[in-house]
Amino acid sequence: MPQPKTSGEKFRILFRNKSRRRGDLFNVHFDPLPTRRLRFIAEPSETFVVKVATRKDRCYWFSDRRIVEENGEEIVEPARYDAIRRVYWMFSDLVEHLKVAGSTDEVSIMKATHFESY
pLDDT, one tens digit per residue, over 30-83 is 889 999 999 999 999 999 998 989 878 899 999 999 999 999 889 999 999 888
Q: Are 61 and 34 in contact (CB under 8 A)?
A: yes
Residues 6+ apart with CB under 8 A from 44: none
Residues 20 and 69 in one domain: yes
Residues 77 and 89 in one domain: no
Number of domains within the chain: 2
* Number of helices and strands in the chain (H, E): 4, 7
Range of the domain at 117: 85-118
Q: Are 88 and 115 in contact (CB under 8 A)?
A: yes
Residues 6 and 62 in one domain: yes
Residues 28 and 67 in one domain: yes
Which helix H or strand E contains 78, and what residues bound it? strand 74-80
Residues 77 and 104 in one domain: no
Give this prediction's pTM. Answer: 0.68
Q: Could you tell me the pLDDT band of residue 22, with boundaries at 50, 70 and 90? A: low
Q: What is the mean pLDDT of the chain?
A: 79
Residues 33 and 62 in one domain: yes
